[in-house]
């Protein structure tokens, strides 16, 4: 286990191990890379070599990181021993920097390397080879291999000498599954020799190599990173990182420098691995190398939080400016099912970007614009102006239907705003509303119409589209003759009223249209709107009217100067289901403004906005206190609108407001807005501090209970930035991403794969996509709760939810579809149940795949029992600590888990929890010179004794081992044969074990540990050869028995 340590200033701090309960799990820790600095040449030693050779640095560019991610239980074979993590880039010499733009390339070995090599590696001026459990590289003396310095070259120049250093992973699985991922463009051809039949063409290249189960429960992935090479270790629950130990074969010495670097010395070079950097949830941990022998090393970690639950941190997956050289204001954003983003707003730029446009020319003082981004955010599907030849036009809100048709609403002062099959063909007065439907290609209008009356200011702020293609518009009007139809209220009440208008799908008629306001107000405004599945529209905004209509209200009393409101209309628009004020009470000057509304599948409405009142209604709040001059608020109403489920402030000590809200299927709530506060609440943020300008935008995700933040982050630069409302400047994507639209005059916002890489004018739009989680949920029943861990397709831990208090569970994860989905592990809080993978599986490999989003992932947990016992030395009866005891299902050999002796604090004792209805077989493997043993004393799985939990008598007495070793060679040529197995049988024919040549033993060599003094028979077979029994026999019966220790060489024929 990763234990807290105080970091020592010594180069080799003690590696003490406090006890830990077997099967104990912990949250993930991520240790990022250590950089292997370039090897340096050493002074040559020998006759005539009194001065050092010139220094050169090899471009081995191997970076490494350790993902202590508690990933998964392994699907290990009984012979695999566990161990633990570490890792390491180098920098290319100047002559090799010409290759700096080339990626590192892994190629399968098709004959360009020895038979013990699985893949070769090409990177900047360097070549390496990857075998099972080993990485080979050379340290040339004086210069890079293959690089000729012509300025100093001489005809008699002596060849470059080099030292071969191999990084071997001690205690690792000798036969991990090695597989390639992420194919690269291009192929290699190896035309070696003069026999075309042996030439290899079209050899593919890859960016990643996986070593599956390099250690028990530990995978290693090696991958290209912009030409450098990194490798990560990924650990399963219970996997012990202390066990990872690297031996540098061919090195003369391994030591730790004063700066914490690991220095590996070889005869003709020196390799330096820079001190490690380790992180947990974005926070750096103290970490250091530790030497464990003359040529071996591991590492230790400082103190870290073992209890911290894992969350998904938000990350920008693309972002881009959008604008011309003038002032461009962005107001509305929508996302379709393919992930394409649609943006609208107002532009004064004659050079605003256009593509496949309906209108390519700026008409008046300002035009509306409509832009569709491709799903990757790097190009425009179309972009067009929308407006008349004079006056001001502005897009305020935007929506998209399932056909890809786009709806835009806003205001226009132009008498020649384009109209097509309109409901209202002419502007009435002052500013009128417009509603325009664009064809899916953006190059034509399906319909476009005015909406307005005799007042000076008729403005649209909110837009919603139902499944039939009807558009709902809300905003404010000062017109006494606003077009009405089937109205709830037919009379303008005050100076401004809110309104709600539903257009028929063809845009040529009104389904209903109504005022909404009181008689005394001068400022009743509809800001946000949404429509539920039944066709009921929810409108929110602000009111100055003491007689604003209230029906079935949570709050029927006007507060003072300005209150928010929430109104739910019947589907026909002619009556109110409920309507309520939302605000505090007090003296004149209190201000509440509701800006946006969302509704969940149960009919609960979520309202957001801003307030300066210290007595704004709060219940079950994340923050119950007004912190600054104005805070944002988030309020969730019960479905009947008459009570609050929760209500909370959100803000710092400055001025803050929330402009937009969205809710996902699990009740997680997403907010965007603007903040002037330097102490706005952040959680798992990609930007943790204010950008330095006047305003910053922010994005916040609340948990379903409204009492905690899943993430909250600033998003802003050095000038003014904000998610403007109420047009809808944030939206949820089809796969759980969050899309935002920022108004900005900052030139230093973060950019990821942008279409436009700079702010072109005083104000530009800024479009951003944030990775967010989809929800997977279900129940684990069986009368007990626990925790949930979710793992990705490579076994990486993605999410962790601890200490559930009910059978129901849910977690947020990135969207994924099977077979590249997720696997779920349920972990019990005590020994009454066994940890299980979904659906009632014993390990990661057999677990069923779960897509995200998904629900109904239900599973019943079987009862469990404790298996325990001791591991002892057979000769001395001394307890053996650190032995691994593996459990396998007796029925089919499925791996079911492991425990480690001494881990619980009792010498030699192990314990783990298994299904009490299943029989298991057990095997113990101890460090040092011990023979692995099956319970009870059996030679192999087939004859091992099965046991059903509970049992406390699974005891092992391990014998000291003796080695049987030797060579396997080709008979006629005496050439070493690599990759050939040698099988060991007892004298009675029981299979005991095997080894494979050149798997850590040297060319053609093998070695296997068995019980000393006991007679065995040996067999090697493979390739073109028949069965070869030792020594020279053709059958088991004829072969001789030999007691270990023994040297047994094979000459294959």
CATH superfamily for 328-771 is: YVTN repeat-like/Quinoprotein amine dehydrogenase (2.130.10.10)
Residues 427 and 452 sit within 8 Å (Cβ to Cβ): yes
| Cα separation, 207 vs 776, whole angstroms | 31
Measured in degrees and rounded to the nearest 5, phi and psi for residue 632 equal -75, 160
Q: 3-state class of 961 per DSSP?
A: strand
Q: Find where tokens 């008459």 sit.
A: 642
| Cα separation, 344 vs 329, whole angstroms | 9
| Cα separation, 143 vs 53, whole angstroms | 10
Q: Which CATH class is domain 961-1052?
A: mainly beta
Q: What is the pLDDT of residue 414?
A: 94
Terminal CA-to-CA distance of the chain, rounded, Å? 49
Residues 645 and 674 sit within 8 Å (Cβ to Cβ): no
Q: Mean pLDDT of residues grouped by 10 in the chain (1053 residues)?
A: 25 27 29 30 28 24 33 28 26 29 72 75 68 72 32 35 74 73 73 69 79 71 69 56 78 81 72 57 58 78 40 69 94 87 96 96 93 92 94 93 94 96 95 97 97 93 95 96 97 92 98 93 89 96 94 92 94 98 80 93 94 95 94 97 97 95 84 95 91 91 90 92 78 77 91 92 90 70 69 75 59 79 81 78 83 83 86 92 87 81 89 87 84 84 90 91 90 89 88 79 84 89 86 87 90 89
| Cα separation, 869 vs 883, whole angstroms | 12
Residues 288 and 13 sit within 8 Å (Cβ to Cβ): yes
Half-sphere exposure of 384 (CA within 13 A, CB side): 21
Q: What is the DSSP string of 161-214?
A: PEEEEEEEETT--SS-EEEEEEEEEEEEEE--SS-GGG-EEEEEEEEEEEEEEE
Q: What is the pLDDT of residue 221?
A: 78
Tell me the per-residue pLDDT of 540-573, one tens digit each, with 9 for 90 and over. Answer: 999 999 999 999 999 999 987 889 999 999 999 9
| Cα separation, 918 vs 61, whole angstroms | 49
Taking alpha carbons only, the member of 795, 674, 822 closest to residue 743 is 674
CATH topology of domain 774-860: Immunoglobulin-like (2.60.40)
Q: What is the pLDDT of residue 427?
A: 95
| Cα separation, 35 vs 225, whole angstroms | 13
Taking alpha carbons only, the member of 385, 315, 341, 349 closest to residue 764 is 349
Q: Which CATH class is domain 864-958?
A: mainly beta
Q: HEC string of 509-530?
A: CEEEEEEECCCCCCCCEEEEEE
Cα separations in angstroms, 800 against 279, 307, 1014: 17, 11, 50
Q: What is the pLDDT of residue 227?
A: 61
Cα separations in angstroms, 240 against 231, 792, 1035: 18, 20, 44
Secondary element (H or E) of residue 1001? none
Sketch the domain layout of the chain as residue ranges: 29-104+117-147+167-182+209-301, 328-771, 774-860, 864-958, 961-1052
Q: In CATH terms, are 328-771 and 961-1052 the same topology?
A: no
């Amino acid at each position: 286990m990763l234990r807290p340590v105080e970091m020592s200033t010594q180069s080799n701090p003690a590696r003490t191990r406090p006890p830990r309960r077997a099967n104990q799990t912990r949250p993930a820790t991520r240790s990022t890379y250590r950089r292997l600095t370039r090897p340096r040449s050493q002074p040559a030693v020998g006759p005539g070599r009194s001065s050092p050779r010139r220094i050169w640095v090899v471009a081995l560019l191997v970076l490494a990181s350790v993902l202590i991610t508690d990933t998964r239980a392994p699907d290990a074979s009984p012979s695999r021993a566990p161990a633990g993590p570490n890792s390491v880039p180098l920098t290319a010499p100047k002559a090799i920097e010409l290759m700096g733009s080339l990626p590192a390339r892994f190629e399968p070995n098709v004959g360009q390397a020895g038979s013990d090599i699985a893949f070769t590696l090409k990177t900047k001026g360097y070549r390496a080879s990857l075998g099972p459990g080993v990485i080979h590289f050379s340290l040339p003396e004086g210069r890079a291999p293959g690089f000729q310095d012509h300025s100093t070259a001489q005809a008699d120049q002596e060849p470059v000498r080099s030292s071969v250093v191999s990084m071997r992973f001690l205690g690792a699985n000798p036969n991990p599954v090695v597989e390639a991922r992420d194919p690269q463009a291009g192929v290699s051809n190896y035309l070696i020799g003069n026999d075309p039949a042996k030439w290899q063409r079209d050899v593919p290249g890859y960016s990643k190599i996986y070593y599956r189960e390099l250690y028990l429960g530990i995978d290693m992935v090696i991958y290209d990173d912009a030409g450098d090479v990194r490798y990560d270790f990924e650990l399963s629950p219970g996997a012990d990182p202390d066990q990872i130990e690297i031996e540098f074969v061919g090195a003369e010495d391994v030591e730790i420098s004063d700066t914490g670097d690991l220095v590996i010395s070889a005869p003709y070079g020196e390799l330096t691995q820079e001190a490690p950097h380790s992180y947990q949830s974005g926070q750096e941990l103290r970490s250091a190398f530790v030497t464990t022998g003359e040529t071996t090393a591991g590492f230790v970690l400082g103190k870290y939080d073992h209890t911290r639950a894992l969350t998904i941190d938000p990350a920008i997956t693309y972002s881009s400016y959008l604008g011309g050289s003038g002032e461009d204001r962005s107001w509305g954003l929508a996302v379709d099912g393919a992930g394409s983003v649609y943006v609208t707003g107002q532009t004064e730029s004659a050079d605003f970007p256009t593509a496949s446009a309906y209108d390519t020319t700026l008409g008046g003082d300002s035009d509306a614009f409509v832009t569709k981004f491709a799903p990757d955010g790097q190009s425009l599907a179309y972009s067009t102006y929308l407006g008349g030849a004079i006056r001001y036009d502005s897009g305020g809100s935007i929506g998209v239907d399932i056909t890809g048709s786009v709806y835009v609403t806003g205001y226009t002062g132009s008498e020649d705003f384009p109209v097509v099959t309109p409901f209202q063909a002419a502007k009435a007065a002052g500013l009128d509303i417009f509603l325009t439907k664009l064809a899916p290609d953006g190059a034509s209008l399906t319909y476009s119409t005015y909406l307005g009356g005799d007042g000076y200011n008729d403005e649209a702020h909110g837009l919603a589209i139902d499944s039939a293609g009807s558009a709902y518009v809300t905003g404010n009007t000062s017109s006494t003759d606003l077009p009405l139809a089937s109205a709830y209220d037919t009379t303008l009440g005050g100076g401004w009223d809110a309104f709600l208008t539903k257009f028929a799908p063809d845009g040529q008629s009104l389904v209903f249209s109504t005022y909404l306001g009181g008689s005394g107000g001068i400022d009743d405004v509809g800001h946000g709107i949404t429509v539920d599945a039944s066709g009921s529209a929810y409108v929110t905004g602000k009111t100055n009217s003491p007689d604003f209509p209230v029906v079935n209200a949570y709050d029927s009393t006007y507060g003072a100067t300005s209150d928010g409101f929430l109104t739910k209309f019947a589907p026909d628009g002619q009556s109110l289901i409920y309507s309520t004020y939302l605000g505090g009470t007090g003296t004149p000057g209190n201000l509440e403004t509701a800006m946006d509304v969302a509704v969940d599948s149960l009919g609960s409405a979520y309202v957001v906005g801003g307030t300066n009142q210290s007595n704004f209604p709060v219940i079950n709040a994340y923050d119950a206190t007004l912190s600054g001059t104005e805070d944002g608020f988030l309020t969730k109403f019960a479905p009947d609108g008459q009570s609050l489920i929760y209500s909370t402030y959100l803000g710092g000590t400055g001025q803050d407001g929330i402009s937009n809200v969205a809710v996902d299927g699990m009740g997680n709530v997403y907010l965007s807005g603007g903040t002037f506060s330097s102490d706005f609440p952040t959680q798992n943020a990609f930007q943790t501090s204010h950008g330095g300008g006047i305003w910053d935008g922010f994005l916040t995700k609340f948990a379903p209970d409204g009492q905690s933040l899943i993430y909250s982050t600033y998003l802003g630069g050095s000038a003014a930035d904000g998610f403007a409302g109420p047009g809808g400047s944030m939206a949820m994507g089809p796969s759980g991403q969050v899309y935002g639209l920022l108004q900005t005059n900052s030139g230093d916002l973060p950019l990821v794969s942008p279409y436009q890489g700079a702010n072109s004018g005083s104000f530009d739009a800024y479009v951003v996509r944030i990775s967010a989680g989809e929800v997977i949920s279900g129940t684990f029943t069986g009368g007990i709760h626990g925790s949930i861990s979710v793992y990705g397709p490579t076994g990486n831990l993605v999410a962790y939810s601890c200490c559930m208090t009910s059978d129901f569970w849910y977690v947020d994860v990135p969207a994924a579809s099977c077979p590249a989905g997720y696997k779920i592990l349920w972990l019990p809080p005590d020994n009454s149940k066994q940890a299980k993978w979904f659906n009632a599986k014993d390990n990661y490999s057999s677990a069923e795949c779960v897509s995200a989003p998904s629900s109904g992932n239900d599973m019943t947990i079987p009862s469990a029992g404790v298996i325990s016992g001791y591991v002892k030395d057979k000769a001395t009866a001394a307890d053996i600590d650190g032995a691994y005891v593996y459990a396998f299902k007796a029925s089919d050999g499925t791996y079911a888990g492991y425990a480690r002796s001494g881990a619980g604090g009792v010498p030699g004792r192990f314990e783990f929890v298994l299904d009490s209805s299943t029989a298991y077989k057990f095997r113990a493997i101890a460090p040092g010179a011990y023979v692995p043993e099956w319970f009870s004393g059996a030679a192999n799985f087939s004859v091992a004794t099965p046991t059903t939990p509970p049992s406390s008598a699974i005891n092992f007495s391990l014998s000291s081992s003796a080695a049987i070793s030797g060579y396997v060679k080709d008979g006629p040529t005496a050439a070493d044969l690599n990759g050939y197995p040698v099988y060991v049988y007892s004298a009675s024919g029981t299979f005991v074990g095997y080894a494979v040549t050149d798997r850590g033993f040297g060319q053609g060599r093998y070695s296997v540990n068995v019980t000393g003094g006991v007679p065995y028979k040996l067999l090697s077979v493979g390739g073109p050869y028949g069965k070869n029994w030792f020594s020279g026999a053709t059958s088991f019966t004829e072969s001789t028995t030999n007691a270990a220790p023994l040297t047994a060489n094979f000459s294959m024929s």
